[in-house]
Amino acid sequence: MAHYKIAVIGGDGTGPEVVAEGIKVIKAVADLEGFTFETQELDWGGDRYLKTGELIPEGGVELLKQFDATYLGAVGHPDVAPGILEKGLLLTLRFELDQYINLRPVKLYPGVETPLADKKPEDIDFVVVRENTEDLYAGVGGNFKKGTPDEVATQTSVNTRKGVDRCLRYAFELCRKRNDKKRLTLVAKTNVLTYAHDLWDRAYKEMATEYPDIEADYNHVDACCMWMVKNPEYYDTIVTTNMFGDIITDLAAMIQGGMGVAAGGNIRPGGASMFEPMGGSAPKYTGQGVINPIAAIAAASMMLDFLGEEASAKRVEQAITKVTGTKMQSMAAGRMGHSTSQIGDLVCEAL
Ligand code: IPM
Ligand code: MN
C-alpha cells in the first residue's frame, strides 16, 4: 500500500482551518482508494515570526525535501508588514525548492456564480502554466540615487533558456494529455519585450516542432485579458511568464467564481512541491468557520494527482462538483449556507 509523508504549513489567519478540511478529505479518499499518509504540522507563519523573528527555521528547506509534498494554507498576518511573509516564506520556498511551475487550473464548478454573462461550466475549463522562478521575481535590480529627485529604479526580468525550456516542456506535455482540444497558448508581449520574449518565442516555436499534435497558439498578454473575459472557452492550456502569470491567474480566479474556489500548485516535477488555495489568510474571519474550503480541497486534489494517486484526485474533484452543484448556496465567505467544516463533511460524503 502506498504511503505518503505530507508537510502541512497551515500558516496564518484562516489557513489552518481550510487545510484541516483538505486533510479530512484526503483521509476519507485514502480509506476508499487504499493508500495511507502521515502529516507533520509546521508552525511557520506570522505568529511564529512575531515571536521568534524567524521565517523559515534553520534546515527548514532541507526538511521539506524529505516529504512527498507540502500542503500550505495561507501567508499574511495583520501585524507583519506586507511583503515580509510573502517574500520570506512563500517566494523563498518556491525559489529554494526550485518549484519552477505554478499550475493554476481554472474551472467553473457547477452552481458557482461567474461574473461572465451566459458562461457555463463547460465554457470555463482551462489551465495556466506559470513560470515560477524567474522573470521580474528574480530580485535583480536596484534603486540608484535612492531618495533623491534623480532616483532611478530598475527591476530586471531574468529569463534563462533553461528556465524557459523546462516550463514550456511541462506545458506541452500537460496540454498533450489534458483533453482533445490540444491548444497551447503562449501568453507574452513579444511586440514590446523584444529581448526577453523573443527568447520565449524562439524556444516555443522550436519546441512546437516536437508536438505536431498540438496547436501552438500565441496571445499578447493584454489581448489575453480581453479574450479570457469575452471567450474563455477558447483556452485550453496557457503557458506564460511569472509576472504575467501572476496577473492573469487572478483575473482567471474571478471568472471561475473567486478566490474561494481557486487552487494552485508550486511544482518541481519529481521533487519537493507545494499545493495551496489561492485565497489569502483573511485574518478577520479567523476561527469563525465562514471561509470556503473548496479551494483548499481542490489543492488537495492537485496534490493527490501529483503524488500519483490520479483516481483519488479525480474522485475528490467529482465530489467537489457534486457539492457545489447541489449543496452550497454561495461560494462567498459566510454565505455558503454551511460552515467551513460542514462543507468538508459534505465533500467527504460525496466521495
Ligand atoms: C500568488 C501570490 C504571490 C505571487 C504573492 C503572495 C507573493 O500573489 O501566488 O499568485 O505574487 O506569486
Ligand atoms: Mn498572485
In the chain, list all ranges with CATH 3.40.718.10: 1-93+277-351, 115-255
State which of 72, 77, 241, 246 you would mutate to test the pocket of ligand 1, scoring each by most atoms of that ligand within 8 A of its C-beta: 246
Element (H, E) at 99: none
pLDDT over 90, % of the chain:
94
Per CATH, the homologous superfamily of domain 1-93+277-351 is Isopropylmalate Dehydrogenase (3.40.718.10)
In this prediction, residue 238 carries a pLDDT of 98
Q: Could you give the count of Cα atoms lying within 13 Å of 288 in the half-sphere of its Cβ?
A: 13
Cβ 233 under 6 angstroms from ligand 1: no
Cβ 246 under 6 angstroms from ligand 1: yes
Atom number in ligand 1 closest to CA 250:
10
Protein residue whose Cα sits closest to atom 5 of ligand 1 = 86
- Distance from the alpha carbon of residue 293 to the mean position of ligand 1, in angstroms: 19
Question: Is 68 among the catalytic positions?
Answer: no
Residues 77 and 281 sit within 8 Å (Cβ to Cβ): yes
- pLDDT at position 321 over 90: yes
According to CATH, the topology of domain 115-255 is: Isopropylmalate Dehydrogenase (3.40.718)
- Distance from the alpha carbon of residue 170 to the mean position of ligand 2, in angstroms: 20
Bridge partners for 265 per DSSP:
103, 275
- pLDDT at position 334 over 80: no
Cβ 74 under 6 angstroms from ligand 1: no
What distances in angstroms separate CA 62 from CA 96, 140, 272, 297, one per listed residue?
Answer: 9, 25, 10, 26
Say how far apart CA 150 and CA 199 lie, in whole Å: 32
Atom number in ligand 1 closest to CA 264:
9
Burial 180-198 (b: 16+ CB within 10 A, else e): ebebbbbbbbbeebeebbe
Question: Is 201 among the catalytic positions?
Answer: no
Q: In this structure, what are the phi and psi dihedrals at residue 161, rounded to the nearest 5 degrees?
A: -60, -40
Protein residue whose Cα sits closest to atom 1 of ligand 1 = 246
State which of 91, 94, 244 you would mutate to test the pocket of ligand 1, scoring each by most atoms of that ligand within 8 A of its C-beta: 91
Question: Is 98 among the catalytic positions?
Answer: no
- Residue scoring higher pLDDT (58 or 331): 58
Question: Is 87 among the catalytic positions?
Answer: no
Condensed to tens digits (0 to 9), the pLDDT of residues 33-66 reads: 999 999 999 999 999 999 999 999 999 999 999 9
Which of the four pLDDT bands, split at 50, 70 and 90, describes residue 331? Answer: confident
Condensed to tens digits (0 to 9), the pLDDT of residues 205-218 reads: 999 999 999 999 99
Question: Is 137 among the catalytic positions?
Answer: yes
- pLDDT at position 332 over 90: no
- pLDDT at position 292 over 90: yes
Supply the mean pLDDT for the chain: 96
- pLDDT at position 328 over 90: no
Condensed to tens digits (0 to 9), the pLDDT of residues 152-206 reads: 999 999 999 999 999 999 999 999 999 999 999 999 999 999 999 999 999 999 9
- pLDDT at position 288 over 80: yes
Residues 325 and 93 sit within 8 Å (Cβ to Cβ): no
Query: ipTM value of the model?
Result: 0.99
In this prediction, residue 335 carries a pLDDT of 82
Cβ 86 under 6 angstroms from ligand 1: yes
Residues 156 and 243 sit within 8 Å (Cβ to Cβ): no
State which of 90, 92, 129, 241 you would mutate to test the pocket of ligand 1, scoring each by most atoms of that ligand within 8 A of its C-beta: 90
Say how far apart CA 116 and CA 123 lie, in whole Å: 10
Residues 297 and 22 sit within 8 Å (Cβ to Cβ): yes
Protein residue whose Cα sits closest to atom 8 of ligand 1 = 246
Protein residue whose Cα sits closest to atom 12 of ligand 1 = 246
For residue 180, give the C-alpha cell. 482533445
Query: If you search the block for the grid coordinates 528547506, which residue do you land on?
Result: 61
Q: What is the pTM of this model?
A: 0.97
In this prediction, residue 246 carries a pLDDT of 98
Query: Which range is least confidently modeled, 62-76, 103-117, 124-138, 332-346?
Result: 332-346
- pLDDT at position 265 over 90: yes
